[in-house]
A = this chain, B = another copy of it.
Amino acid sequence: MDQNPAPLSVISVIATSLQRERRRAGLSLAELARRAGVAKSTLSQLESGTGNPSIETLWALCVALDVTFAQLVEPPEPKVHVIRADEGSTIAAEHAEYVAKVLSASPPNARRDLYLITAQPGTVREAAPHRSGTYEHVVLSVGRALVGVQGNPVEIGPGDYIGYPADVPHVFEALEPDTVAVMVSEHV
């Protein structure tokens, strides 16, 4: 039932993240333990990958370190990445009237995806609701479009921004040829 990449490594990820964030904050193990209100022995075990912290313990450490929960459980991976306008894999709809290019997906723990959308008028793209907690941001670059939740879309033009919950039916309808937009789809 587990094909996930990190069943028990969650602990080791937290171990390294904890140490990384603690040092970034310039705190000693004892000092952080004091501020978070946990025993330094506990913190020592966590950073060494031993043990399986409770939520309250981890939360106290998050608060003391001023970091988010996700910062401790998701490993980083920073690299410069360029995708030219004529490169990248595109996700075409039925016709070539709606083309979405994935610029930056968010594996493995989904968070947000970044798309470049090129759409033609004449067809309405009705998207089924995505998973709960999904929210989409759209910035229109070229053209005009009707965007938003189904039944109450908003017309936007170049430079306009719209954000809307995407866990309900929503639409994207180009009103001019070669309408281009940048879309960020994120999971809460």
- A residues sitting closer than 8 Å to B (CB atoms) are 1-2, 4, 6-8, 10-11, 14, 20-21, 24, 35, 37, 52-56, 58-60, 63-64, 66-71, 73-74, 76, 78-86, 88, 103-104, 109-112, 114, 116, 131-133, 135, 137, 139, 141-142, 148-149, 152, 154, 156-165, 167, 180, 182, 184, 186-188
One complex includes copies of this chain to the number of 2
A37 to chain B, nearest CB (A): 4
A144 to chain B, nearest CB (A): 12
Contact (Cβ within 8 A) B84 A160: yes
Residues of B within 8 A of A104 (CB): 137, 161, 163
Contact (Cβ within 8 A) B55 A10: yes
Contact (Cβ within 8 A) B55 A52: yes
Out of B157, B161, B167, name the residue touching A116 (CB < 8 Å): B161
